[in-house]
Amino acid sequence: MLHEPTSLPTIRPAGCPFAPPTGLAQLREERPLVRMRYPDGHQGWLATSYALVRTVLADSRFSSRYELMHYPVPGVGELPPAPAGDMTGMDAPEHTRYRRLLAGKFTAHRMKLLTERVEQITTEHLDAMERQNKKVDLFEAFAHPVPAHIICELLGVPYADRDTFHRHTVTLMSLEATREQQIDAMAGLQEYMAHLVTAKQTEPTDDLLSDLTTSGLTSEELTGIGALLLSGGLDTTANMIAYGAFALLQHPHQLAAFRSDPDLADQAIEELMRFLSIAHTSVRVALEDIELDGQTVRAGECVTLSIQAANRDPDKFPDPDFLDLYRKATGHLGFGHGIHQCLGQQLARVEMRVALPALFKRFPKLRLAIPAEKVPLRTDMNIYGVHRLPVTWAEV
Ligand code: HEM
């Protein structure tokens, strides 16, 4: 007999670094929309099937506004409304205004133009890795700096300041940070960005932030947008590169296919996005009473959406627990869906598409330097992945 969960399942089975938390599959099979008690006492819902998660993400009667939200993890508590420019916490029409302004800057075409620069930065980091003693933490040496460099260049953020903003973004993504720590980190990031915006307004340079200063946005809006893009574009892609490399190393047949068939890379990236689902959870709140799966979600109730359960739904993806790079994984929800679907997805694709094949080409003998079960997984973060990935390419 399946009990209603009193908390979001988060414990993953030991020894299975790519498996979603235990209990999600059973819920999806038996009761894909189930009542769930939130850490602050809120009585809301948990949705686990692909169809339901996608439906909620596409339904404008569900809101993303931070101030209406209850979160499925302890510590967050009540949040203030989204600051100007932070469109993730807004609904239409406020969200639409920002999204329209930014969408044109992140098109697939524009991002493809960055390919050459991504290749250069990738090569520089692979060269630096090669100079080390055949053993590195792949996250620190490669997976994080490559997208960090790119997002900094694109926005016009000095890469040298990375320690400051990285500290804040790590806190913002931590499931263990208290509400005060989250608010402080948000304020720290905003403060850093506000200074940068003032600098770009006075002395524009050739980058996106300077470009946006002529779009009729206020300084507060520019600050919010800058903070959002910087935090959204850093840890996400970094974790997909590191966790993706880990997944490939643990699936040697798939890795062999990835290496030998360059035409496979695009669809392989989509399958890795589906299989790994690093942005594992989203939340929406009902603005009115809504019938969903034969039940009524009342106005004010939150629905936690398990992206990882949805992306492993056998009704959508046959044999879902199998990493199959030849699968057509299009339609996965790894970048979300609906009006908030990831703005930076084309940039992320270019980065992953360049970085992962180049890594395995440069180091044909790449392997883990520690047992797989010792790799520290990001169980404490709202973007999943690895904290570190020690690898080696030394002769055995
Ligand atoms: C593999 C890497 C990435 C993953 C897995 C990812 C995942 C996501 C997901 C799931 C959402 C939707 C959140 C929701 O609906 O609640 C989202 C939104 C967003 N992402 Fe990404 N993202 C990635 C890379 C990036 C990059 C590189 C950028 C920066 C350029 C970025 C910027 C954004 C922004 C601004 C939003 C909010 C869009 C909106 O509210 O309209 N992301 N991302």
Cα(280)–Cα(309) distance, integer angstroms: 8
Farthest CA pair distance, the chain:
65
pTM of the model: 0.96
Q: 164 falls in which pLDDT band (50, 70, 90)?
A: confident
Q: Is the Cβ atom of 281 under 6 angstroms away from ligand 1? A: no
Residue 75 has pLDDT above 80, yes or no: no
Q: What angle separates helix 252-260 from helix 219-250, to the nearest 10 degrees?
A: 110
What CATH code would you report for 24-391?
Answer: 1.10.630.10
The pLDDT tens digits for 227-237 are: 999 989 888 99
Residue 180 has pLDDT above 60, yes or no: yes
Q: Which atom of ligand 1 is nearest to the CA of 307?
A: 10
Computed over every residue of the chain, the mean pLDDT equals: 94
Q: 395 falls in which pLDDT band (50, 70, 90)?
A: confident
Residue 42 has pLDDT above 60, yes or no: yes
**Which mutation among 335, 353, 382 tests ligand 1's pocket best, with the greatest number of atoms within 8 A of CB?**
335
Using the mean position of ligand 1's atoms as its centre, give its distance from the Cα of residue 344 in Å: 6
Q: What percentage of the chain has pLDDT greater than the value 90?
A: 84
Cα(344)–Cα(106) distance, integer angstroms: 6
Higher per-residue confidence, 395 vs 357: 357
Give the per-residue pLDDT at 2: 58
The pLDDT tens digits for 79-94 are: 889 999 999 999 999 9
Higher per-residue confidence, 363 vs 4: 363
> How do the domains of the chain map onto residue ranges?
24-391
What secondary structure does DSSP assign to 353-364, as a single string?
A: HHHHHHHHHH-T
Give the per-residue pLDDT at 3: 64
Cα(349)–Cα(272) distance, integer angstroms: 11
The residue to which tokens 């942005």 are assigned: 279
Give the per-residue pLDDT at 186: 86
Residue 348 has pLDDT above 60, yes or no: yes
Q: Is the Cβ atom of 347 under 6 angstroms away from ligand 1? A: yes
Residue 214 per-residue DSSP state: T
Q: Is the Cβ atom of 334 under 6 angstroms away from ligand 1? A: yes
Q: Which two structure tokens, joined as six digits, stand for 138?
A: 């792949």
The arithmetic mean of pLDDT across residues 129-145, rounded, is 95
Give the per-residue pLDDT at 218: 96
User: In this structure, are residues 237 and 147 in contact, taking their beta carbons and an 8 Å threshold?
Assistant: yes
